[in-house]
Each structure stands twice: as C-alpha cells, then as structure tokens.
Amino acid sequence: MTDSNPAKGAEELPEEPPRRLTALDSYQGRYLILATLLILALLAIAWFGHNYVSKVTGAQVARLEKRTNLQQQLRQGMRELQNIEEWLHRQLIEPGLRQKTSLEEQIQRLRTKLTDLQRQLPEGEQKALLETVLQTRLNRFATDAEGFLRISHDNRLRFPSTEIMQTRMRDKAATFTEIITDALDELRDQHDGSTELLLDGYRLHDTWQKILSEFRLLVANRFGVFADDPLAGMQARAGNIEIYMAHLQQELKRLEKMPAPEGTLYLEPETWQQLSRIADDWHREYLQLWKGLTSENWRRDLQIYKDSLAPQLTRIQADLGQIQASLNQESAGEIKELASVAERLTLAIFIITLADILLIFGAYLYLRTRILKPISATTQALRQEAAGITHNQIPIPKLRETRDLVSAFAEMRREVWRRQRGLDYLAHHDPLTQLPNRILFKDRLQHAIKVAQRNNQMVALLFLDLDNFKQINDTLGHLAGDELLVTVARRLKNLLRSSDTVARLGGDEFAILLENIEGKRQTRNAASKILSALSEPVKLAGHDFHLTASIGIAMAPYDDSQPDNLIRDADSAMYEAKRLGKNAYFFFSSELLERATTQLNLEREIRTALEKEEFLFHFQPIVHTRSKKIYGVEALIRWQPEKGPLRYPDEFVETLLAIDNRQDFMEKLLCQIDELQQKCIDELQIQLPVAINLSASVLRNSTQHNLVLNSLKRRRYPELLRIEITEDTLLEDLANAHVLLKEIKRLGIPLVLDDFGTGQSSLNHLRSFPFDAIKIDKEFVMNLDKNPEDANLVKAVTQLAHSFNMKVVAEGVETETHQHYLRKIGCDYLQGYLISKPISSDRLFAMLEHIRSRLKVVN
C-alpha cells in the first residue's frame, strides 16, 4: 500500500469568488420554499376533508362505541367461563388444593357478568339466547358441579376401587406376613439342623415382600408417579406380580410336602396350606382391583367432568360465541357504511395524487438539471482521485452542500487510511506484549528460510515455553500472569539482536528466530543466555518469583525447510526438554522424530483397539498363606490385538489413559468381571473376590469421582470387589483421594494399599486412610532369601499392618523359600508366579472348576 495525501483532492478546489447568500443559493433554501407551498395546499385540503368526515362519522362512532362496550362485557363473561374450566382442571389434578376462590363464587361471577350484558342488549335473538343460557344451562351446570365437588372431596366416591385395597387386600396381606413371620421366629429358635428350611422361609418371606412392593408400585403408576405412561408402568408391575405369585405358590407347595421339624407349631403342612389359601384370596382381590383400576371409571370425578361438565361448558361457550358473532356482524355493517365515506375520500385523494405526480415530475427535471449533474461530476472526480489519477479537475460546486460533501469525503479518506494501518498492526502483533504474533512470525520465518537457502546460511528457531506458568496464573490471577508475560517479552527483546525476531505464539509460548547464524554453537550460546536472563527474579504482587523455561531448537535447512514443519520440530524438542527436567534446551534430532512417530502410531493403534474392544483382563490368583486356599484374584489389564502377541501394560497403559481420560474403557472391562463372577456363582457356587487397580488420574481429578462411584454401583456384586491404590498416587492430592476413598468405603468395598513401602510416608498413609489391607511391593519380597534387610522390613511391615487390623498380601512370591518365610512371619495372603501367572478368564474358570472338588474357596 502506497501513502498519499488524503487531503490532496480538497486542496485542488479552485477558490470561489465571494457571493451574496440568498435563500435560493442552497438546496435547503429552495427545498424550504417549495415545501412551504406544498404544506399550505395540503393543510387546506385536510381542513375541508376533516369537516366532511366529522359530520358523516359522528353518528357511526357512537353506535360503534356502544357495540364495543357490549363486546367487551361479553369477552369478560367468556373469560369467567374459561376461569371456571381452569378451576375444574386444577381440582381434577389436585383435589386437596385450596384455591383462592370457590367454584360457587366463580359461577356467581359469571352469572353477574351475563346478567349485566343481558340488561344492555336490545330486544331480539341475542337477548333471548342469553336468557336461555342464564335460566337453563347455567343452572343445570351449577347443580352438576355441586355433585362433582362432593365426589372429588370423598376418596371412596372418587376412587371406587379404594375399598378393595384398603380393607380386604390389606387384611389378607397382614395375615400372611404375620403367619410367615411367626414361622421364621420358630425356625430361628430351632437348633436341630433346620437351616435349609429357615432359608426357604426367608426366601418365601422375601418373595411375599416383593409382591407387596410391586403392588405398591402398580398403584403409584396408576396415579402417574413414576411413569409418563401409567398403563405401561402398571402392566410392567402386573407382570412382575404374576411372576412372583407363581414362584410363591410353587414354594408353598414344595414346603407343604416337606416334613415339619419336631416340636414346631407353625411348620405343619396346614400352615403352608393356609398361606396358600390367603395368597390365592389376595390374588383374586388383586385381579378385581386391577379390573377397576384399568377401567374408564377408575376415577368417578373425571368421568363426571368428561360426560357432563365439559359438554355443558362447551355448549355455553358456543352460545356466547354465537352472540359474539352476531355483534361482530352488526359492527361489520356499520363499518361498511363508513367504507362508503372512505370511497368518496379516495376519489379526492386520487385527484390530489395525480396533481402530486405532476409536481414530482417537474421537481425531478429541476433536480436533474440543478443538482444531480453537479454531484455526478464531483463523484467522477473523486473516483479518479481514488484510482491514483491526481491530475483531475473537480468542478466548482454552485451550492454550499456540494462543497461540504467534497470536504467531508476527503476527511473520511484520511481516517480510513489511518485505521487501516492500525488494523494491519493488530492483525500481526500480540496486543499484550506488542510482539509479532504467529501469522507475522511464520511470514518472517518463511522469508528468512528463503534468504538462508539463497545465501547458503542457517536459521535457528527456538520454541520457548515457561515452566509452571499455570501455577502462577492460578495462584496470583490473570493480571499477574499478564504482567509476567510482558516482563518475559521485554527481557527477550533486550537480550537478542535487532535482526532477530521474538514472537508470542499464544499462552506462555514464545518463538525466537535467529537469522544468519554460523551453527549450533552460536544457537547454544543464545539459548543459555535466554535461560540465564529468565532465571532472574520477577516481582509479582510483592513477592519475588524465580522463573524457568524449556526451549526446543530446530535448525533450517538442516532439520527442515518448511515453516510449519520447523515449528513442529522445535515444539517436539521443547517437550523433550521438559521431560528431561525443565529449565533446559534441547536440539531436535531424527531420533526425536522417530520417537514422536512411534508414539503417534501407538495412539492410532490404541484408538483402533478401543473401537474393536481388544482390551481385556487377565487374573492372577491370591491364596491364603497357611491353607493355600484361593482367596480371590487380581484383575490385570492386557491388550490382545487381532494379529500379534499379547501386549502388557508397560507398553500402552500410560498412552491409553491419556487418550481415554474419562476411562470409558474400564466400564467394558468391569463388565467382564461381572460376567466372570456371575458364571462362578451360577455354575460353581463360588463367590469370587476380584481386586482392581484405581489409576492416579482418577484420584487427582475430582470431576471423575462421580463417574467412578456410579460405575461401582452398577456392578452386579460390588461387595466382591477390592479397590487397590498404589502408594505413590496418594502423594499428589491427599484431600481429593481421601474424599473418593471414603465414598468407596461407604459402598462396602474394601480398600487395599498397593506397592506398600515404595512411597515417602507409608506409616502416615496407614493412619490417615481407611485401608483394609496392604500389599507389600514385590521388590522387597523377591530378595527375601538374599537380603536380610528386606526380610526384616517385610516382617516389620506385616507386624505394623496387623497392629492396624489390616491384612497383608505379599506380591512377587516365586519360590518355596519366599512362601516358607512369609508363612512364618504371619503374612495373610500370597500372590506371585509360584501360585500362578496371570491367566485369562476361561483358564481361571477351568482352574476353579478343577480344584473345586478338593479345595474350598475362601470368601
């Protein structure tokens, strides 16, 4: 964009000789004269038209006002009728609701409104129809409404089926419950091996309670408490009742055939027969109640409203609507009379319009000659000026307004150019630090790379990211963070050469472009100076803060010649500097690119594995130390690709947690545990405890706590789960961890402290958290026979855990020596390759099935 003088066009206007100003010297003066004449003519026409219309419409307006008053009163009556209908609706929805006005008051107000309207109506069909409404229909409605209110306030009348439920069914349910309770009490007093019969009694009692619960839900569904579709909810409950009732009768018949224990009163076959008869009687009453609840007359007040009150309201509304239509028709007739007056006025307006058209045509001829031609000539001159043609002759305007227009346009052009330069600066610079932004930096980087390639030089790109900037920003606020960013920008600009470029890419990321450098040595020196300059204390909010940064370095054309790729490489090198400990710089290398490529491939494979559900659990048994009986298993995640060998957690779990930070995959894995436990119970009658590990990311992130708790609640057997937490995870956020672990304990799930002894404050963890057991890390167990210190440590930990009433599990048990020593010191449970390697759920089930006949599973 080339600069030019925006006032040049205005300066070329030739000077105008002095002229005597008159009213005809401007558009305004000429317009005022013409407008005054036109206004006077229109006022005269309007005065004559007003007098004429006033005479004709005076009488019509009086009649219209009276008609309008009648229509307003009729609308008030219809509004009162609508209020009565709404009152009835509220009464149907909530009969016990105390409303502001009674139904009698509402009907009386309607009667008053219609009576007032009747007195003002002239004799005719309208008045006769309204009298019929008052004398016949409204009286009948009041009588029926009184009966409706009486029924709605008496539940027995309103719900005919209530008597069956509250008398006959309730008495039979109470009798059944009393008999079965006495029988259970008598069974509990027996000590002669009747445990199986006691369990049968408990199951019978539980089935009866389920029937009553389903019945209560059925009644609640009838009233729309739990379902949008009451009948569908009732049918679901009725189906459950029939299932439970069939099961109940089957159990009673079975118990009736069993011999009663000696010395019992309630356990004779007659008792079970009596219970069967009571259940049958209750079921017959229930079927009769079901018939009443599913009939159209299950609510008597609703039926009265539908059959009587609603049709009467509709008829009264129709009669009032007929009266309103008649009034509207009379109003329309009077409006037609006014329309004839309007037609005569229209003719007069047409004549006036024709005269105006002729006047406008004459004005246009004048406008084109005296105004449009001078403005067009001025506009053409301004277009030539905008196109860069400076040798143009702007005609001398004859009127003041044209001269003002040219001057204002020149001023506007100067302002536009000034703002355009300002917007261009804002588009390419960071508003906080005034440094070049990413757009301008990429443009300069691309230009620097081209110059370097042409002159056989090198360019260095330094990608700088502040360490722990988020903590300062969160602690002191965004204003302090902005102040820190400005300080960093100032230090970087003061430190580097004038030919170098410092840019802020966003957040706490900066980029530095070093041009015309000799090699890595010069770049290394520059990076060291930057780290040293940034390490000087920064005073924020009255405190000194020591700042560090991580720098990634990429060289062009050595590493890459494309700006985007060079920024990507420097960014990767910066993250490697952070990984190595921060406050350092790191040069990009091909090995780093290969590592990044490998990581990207792993992420892509994991996403595919999540879609194909290739992750599964393997299970490692845990046994009692002394009896060697199986106590439970630990679930360990594995990855089984469609093609390829089994992959272990060290290869993928960190990346998996980063990709699926909500850990949705765990829900599917926990379903595998549900299926395994269910299969063990159904086929082996074994309740199998399973231990699962809780990741550190879940403990840190309080927003995921509810997800974890809800997932545990959805398990079929949460009481058979064991949650393991590694000790290191507790060091990161004790408060959040304590809250989550306390909620897990409330669910009845035991907690296990895993890898005990590897953390920094193990004893404090035992005292502060509600653990039920600890796991001694395998690093200590595997060297028991070689390192006396490890042996003494394991012994001390076992004694310490027992003093806290905690169980001890030893991991990494691989030899008989390990087992012998752990049994000797009183360790409770063993886990390791000596017992079993982690195996699939199918192999685990086969193992349990194989040893079930000779080894009891301890729950």
Report how far Cα 446 is from the mean position of its chain's Cα atoms.
43
Class of residue 242 by CB neighbours under 10 A (exposed 0-12, middle 13-18, buried 19+):
middle
In terms of average pLDDT, the best of 204-218, 330-344, 642-656 is 642-656
For CA atoms 798, 803, 804, 805, the dihedral sign is: positive
Phi and psi at residue 345, in whole multiples of 5°? -65, -35
State the average pLDDT over residues 640-665: 86
Q: What mean pLDDT, rounded, does the chain reach?
A: 80
Q: How confident is the model at residue 288, as a pLDDT? A: 80
Q: How confident is the model at residue 724, as a pLDDT? A: 92
Q: How confident is the model at residue 3, as a pLDDT? A: 42
CATH architecture entry for 160-297: Up-down Bundle (1.20)
| Under 8 Å between Cβ of 619 and 636 | yes
Which residue would you say has higher pLDDT here, 358 or 748?
Answer: 748
State the average pLDDT over residues 622-646: 93
Q: Per residue in 122-164, pLDDT tens? A: 777 777 777 777 677 777 777 777 767 766 666 666 666 666 7
Q: How confident is the model at residue 346 (pLDDT cuts 50, 70, 90)?
A: confident
Distance CA 363, CA 353 (A): 15
The CATH superfamily holding the domain 435-588 is Reverse transcriptase/Diguanylate cyclase domain (3.30.70.270)
Q: How confident is the model at residue 468, as a pLDDT? A: 82
Q: How confident is the model at residue 14, as a pLDDT? A: 43
Q: Per residue in 259-318, pLDDT tens? A: 766 655 556 777 788 888 888 888 888 888 787 777 666 666 666 767 677 787 778 777
Phi and psi at residue 105, in whole multiples of 5°? -65, -40
Please state, in angstroms and as integers, the Cα–Cα distance from residue 10 to each residue in 14, 389, 396, 589, following that order: 9, 14, 11, 63
Which residue would you say has higher pLDDT here, 658 or 640?
Answer: 640
Q: How confident is the model at residue 798, as a pLDDT? A: 93
H/E stretch holding 617 reads: strand 615-624
Q: Per residue in 283-295, pLDDT tens? A: 888 888 787 777 6
Q: Per residue in 740-777, pLDDT tens? A: 888 999 999 999 998 776 654 456 667 777 789 999 98
- What region does 359 belong to: left with phi over 0, alpha with psi -120 to 50, or beta? alpha
| Under 8 Å between Cβ of 327 and 174 | no
Tokens of 854: 């000779």
State the average pLDDT over residues 103-117: 75
Q: How confident is the model at residue 175, as a pLDDT? A: 86
**Residue 344: how many other CB atoms lie within 10 Å:** 13
**DSSP H helices in 624-771:** 649-659, 665-679, 696-700, 705-713, 734-746, 762-768
Q: How confident is the model at residue 13 (pLDDT cuts 50, 70, 90)?
A: very low
State the average pLDDT over residues 699-709: 82
Using a pLDDT cut of 70, give the percent of the chain over it: 80
Q: How confident is the model at residue 672, as a pLDDT? A: 94
Using a pLDDT cut of 90, give the percent of the chain over it: 28
Q: How confident is the model at residue 552, as a pLDDT? A: 94
**Residue 62: how many other CB atoms lie within 10 Å:** 10
Rg, C-alpha atoms of the chain: 47
Q: How confident is the model at residue 381 (pLDDT cuts 50, 70, 90)?
A: low
Q: How far is the first Cα of the chain from the last one, in angstroms, to the nearest whole number?
A: 84
Domain boundaries, the chain: 25-158+299-343, 160-297, 398-425, 435-588, 621-851
Q: Per residue in 528-551, pLDDT tens? A: 999 999 988 888 877 788 889 999
Q: SS3 for 616?
A: strand
Q: How confident is the model at residue 532, as a pLDDT? A: 92
Phi and psi at residue 503, in whole multiples of 5°? -135, 150
Q: Per residue in 804-830, pLDDT tens? A: 899 999 999 999 999 999 999 999 999
Q: Per residue in 791-803, pLDDT tens? A: 999 999 999 899 9
Q: What is the pTM of this model?
A: 0.47
State the average pLDDT over residues 477-496: 90
CATH architecture entry for 25-158+299-343: Up-down Bundle (1.20)
Does pLDDT of 178 surpass 90? no
For CA atoms 137, 140, 145, 151, the dihedral sign is: negative
Between 174-188, 190-204, 430-444, the lowest mean confidence (pLDDT) is in 190-204
Q: How confident is the model at residue 16 (pLDDT cuts 50, 70, 90)?
A: very low
Q: How is 67-90 classified by DSSP, letter by letter?
A: HHHHHHHHHHHHHHHHHHHHHHHH
| Under 8 Å between Cβ of 631 and 842 | no
Q: Per residue in 488-504, pLDDT tens? A: 999 999 998 888 999 99
Q: How many residues does the chain have?
A: 859
**Residue 780: how many other CB atoms lie within 10 Å:** 22
The CATH superfamily holding the domain 621-851 is EAL domain (3.20.20.450)
Q: How confident is the model at residue 216, as a pLDDT? A: 80
Q: Per residue in 43-70, pLDDT tens? A: 887 787 777 777 767 766 777 777 777 7
